[in-house]
Structure 1
């Protein structure tokens, strides 16, 4: 014998509409039972008492707690002062937490007196919802965490306040999804998305903190600091992945096939990426080129290394361009490092003097003048003026000098030295020749004319 439906809704409506209407009828019956029950009214009264007591105490206590926690000096540092500032951030949770605590006390009283506490239990869940709401609005400052709190934490708190959390969890756990041999419940997917978001945000935050701490250790070589920061980043992300797999309930042995496929992909399509990654590790271990060095590659690329990633190094030229150089190029090609270990660099400036000059006076004159430049070094060698040859128009000299830095970008050492040589020779009355030729005209005289270039 079939049961006759008592629903006033038309029978041709979708099943979920009838289900929703059934929940509505249950809620309506529960509300009517609460409204007609003295125990329910007593619990409503206890909820109001708990709220107003919590409001009164928070208005009296929170300003005093804020004054106590506030550091005397706003710019004071230290672990205790930072802990005080963090504690002040959580003070907006004081009112709903006090209301929740007092409601819990009232719940134990009503259950002992009336044997029921459904209304006050619902009120306690509502106060917990207010705690979550205040936490999302006032405590969370990071944009990603605020987004996660608004669209994940708040809906969960609302479902819990309505008493529907257990049925929703049961339904999600019964819904099975999968791909191939890997099968898991929809609850595992939701739990994995939430846990994965939190874990990888926490991994990124801890990576930034560890990198800042490692970079601040000036006693370590730059290459060692870079290698340590990369190792910390890989370790943190790997641990986050393992924790995520454990939370989702996925057996790592089921990923063996996927791992084999990834290994084959690395062996064929990703071999250059793997090569660049290993080359980057070798570079960091050997320290032959690191962040801050000015390098020139065999292909002509040159610039200052401003960043080293797992795949490539980024060079910044003096004209503002960035050049991305694969790490493999530093291992397989010739690289000139102009600033390894802060060593000095040698440059030279060429000049000429007239054939009428007593060339024995030139070296000492030029060396003494160039040595007065504030950036010219005495070590490893002082300025050295050398005779290079006898040219068509004059006698060729060159002065070699050592400086800390590169003769490019903000530094114009060669230009400064040439100005010094010009002024020193002029002051000594030594002529700097210009190119000229002597032209003979048959049947006539001799004409001296400047050389045409």
Structure 2
């Protein structure tokens, strides 16, 4: 053990001994002083009176504040919310009654140290009830349990200011940078609170924006991203200000980021700007079924600042950079509910009266519940004269695309088959005529 370490440990021991003697002197004075016993009696009386008032007043308050179950307006919700603070009634009443008695004891005895300590105890109990019974968020409960309650315990014992001075005077040196432990603790607590508040605010704003159904989905998505960037950017700037960091230093940081974007982050910047353009133009949005020039196809399930996520009908997700939606050809089969045209090809025998075929097929296909009359009803067209039969195709419009849950083409093929069979029309199969020159070979015996 070095001499410096031994000296530090000796200083800590001496400080602990001084605090122990200080506590012993206070305890001795309280135990031997009539004024202290009077203040103890007032504390007990104040607590007993608080218990009595709480028991009598709680049922009355619950009955008056609780709204009928069928009420859901904002006033009813506020009344229900106020009831969760009932656990604070007992310690706060004890604190108030003790405060009223403190003036009496100071006027009679010129001292109120004991009763002041009791007030701090009741305040600690109120904070403990708040953290234990009222706070429901897991993060805030953890922060209250490990930060607020220890701080209140130190305040109750009168050690909060010495602890703050000790942490402020303890300096951490990292190279040319030095800071106190207190500034680090303050930054951690403030950062945690700010970013929790930012997350809560972002959730609330996102919920509100998504409810605005009069806006296009792409516009809502852009508003959500803009609010998220604004909220967390503001939280970051506030944290820097709280920690005492000069905001002018951000100019240097911004220049460094600009250089990084110019060299190593070109693709990231390109994808981010492409994502903003997509959200502004609305040419593709969540729920659309798209097919890219590279062959990737699927339903858009998520749009982020970097990429768009497509879900195929076999359950796979394809991550497509936003830049691909700007620089390549994209086929949008959905286009927010537009109709699509499909066709089914078939053939009939040359013995068929082909003039009857269009009416038969068009009437049969039009009965399918998914086939539309607009923009055009089913249309059967003669396509050509094939080797084995006469070639036709029936075109039809549907609201959607032919994949996944929708089997329009398969359904129409069944309809065409059944309609031709019912009409007695033959669907041909290939015929081949084989000519053998020179006669058949004679089999040897």
Q: Give the TM interval when normalised to the shorter protein.
A: over 0.9
Instruction: Show the counterpart of 2:20.
Output: 24
Instruction: Show the counterpart of 2:212.
Output: 217
Change (3 A) 1:420 1:26: same
Deviation, structure 1 residue 381: 0.8
Q: Give CA deviations for 1:100-133 in whole Å, capped at 9, x if unaligned.
A: 1212222222222222211111111111111111
Change (3 A) 1:11 1:368: closer
Contact 1:344 1:402 in 2 (8 A): yes
Q: Give CA deviations for 1:207-255 in whole Å, capped at 9, x if unaligned.
A: 1111111111111111111111111111111111122122222221234
Contact 1:353 1:430 in 2 (8 A): yes
Q: 2:60 aligns with which of 41, 47, 64?
A: 64
Q: 1:324 aligns to what SS in structure 2?
A: strand
Q: For structure 1, which segment, 201-210 or 186-195, has the greater mean C-alpha deviation from structure 2 after superposition?
A: 186-195
Q: 2:34 aligns with which of 24, 32, 38?
A: 38
Q: 2:384 aligns to what SS in structure 1?
A: strand
Q: 2:393 aligns with which of 390, 393, 398?
A: 398
Contact 1:182 1:254 in 2 (8 A): no
Q: 2:292 aligns with which of 290, 294, 297?
A: 297
Instruction: Show the counterpart of 1:5.
Output: none
CA–CA separation in structure 2 for the residues paired with 1:25 and 1:238: 50
Q: Give CA deviations for 1:72-101 in whole Å, capped at 9, x if unaligned.
A: 11x532211211121111111111111112
1:362 aligns with 2:362: no
Instruction: Show the counterpart of 1:3.
Output: none
Deviation, structure 1 residue 177: 4.1
Q: 1:296 aligns to what SS in structure 2?
A: strand
Instruction: Show the counterpart of 2:158.
Output: 163
Deviation, structure 1 residue 36: 0.7
Deviation, structure 1 residue 30: 1.2
Contact 1:312 1:325 in 2 (8 A): yes
Change (3 A) 1:389 1:226: same
1:414 aligns with 2:405: no
CA–CA separation in structure 2 for the residues paired with 1:265 and 1:181: 25
Q: 2:378 aligns with which of 374, 383, 406?
A: 383
Change (3 A) 1:271 1:120: farther
CA–CA separation in structure 2 for the residues paired with 1:373 and 1:397: 19
Q: Give CA deviations for 1:337-382 in whole Å, capped at 9, x if unaligned.
A: 1111321111111111112111111111101111111111111111
Instruction: Show the counterpart of 1:205.
Output: 200
Instruction: Show the counterpart of 2:190.
Output: 195
Deviation, structure 1 residue 391: 2.2
Q: 2:98 aligns with which of 103, 119, 139?
A: 103
CA–CA separation in structure 2 for the residues paired with 1:161 and 1:117: 15
CA–CA separation in structure 1 for the residues paired with 2:295 and 2:103: 80
Deviation, structure 1 residue 49: 1.1
Instruction: Show the counterpart of 1:333.
Output: 328
Instruction: Show the counterpart of 2:252.
Output: 257
Instruction: Show the counterpart of 2:3.
Output: none
Q: 2:392 aligns to what SS in structure 1?
A: strand
Q: 2:124 aligns to what SS in structure 1?
A: helix
Contact 1:214 1:225 in 2 (8 A): yes
Report the TM-score when normalising by structure 1: 0.91
CA–CA separation in structure 1 for the residues paired with 2:420 and 2:83: 72
Unpaired segments of 5 or more residues in structure 2? 1-5
1:125 aligns with 2:120: yes
Deviation, structure 1 residue 178: 6.2
Q: 2:343 aligns to what SS in structure 1?
A: strand
Q: 1:313 aligns to what SS in structure 2?
A: strand
Change (3 A) 1:17 1:180: closer
1:186 aligns with 2:181: yes
Deviation, structure 1 residue 267: 2.3
Q: 1:252 aligns to what SS in structure 2?
A: coil
Contact 1:295 1:302 in 2 (8 A): yes
1:152 aligns with 2:157: no
Unpaired segments of 5 or more residues in structure 1? 1-9, 446-453
Q: Give CA deviations for 1:306-362 in whole Å, capped at 9, x if unaligned.
A: 111111111111221111111111111111111113211111111111121111111
CA–CA separation in structure 1 for the residues paired with 2:9 and 2:418: 101
**Size of the alignment, in residue pairs?**
435
Deviation, structure 1 residue 185: 3.3
CA–CA separation in structure 1 for the residues paired with 2:210 and 2:427: 52
Change (3 A) 1:22 1:389: same
Instruction: Show the counterpart of 2:264.
Output: 269
Q: 1:100 aligns to what SS in structure 2?
A: helix
Deviation, structure 1 residue 181: 6.7
RMSD, matched Cα: 2.1
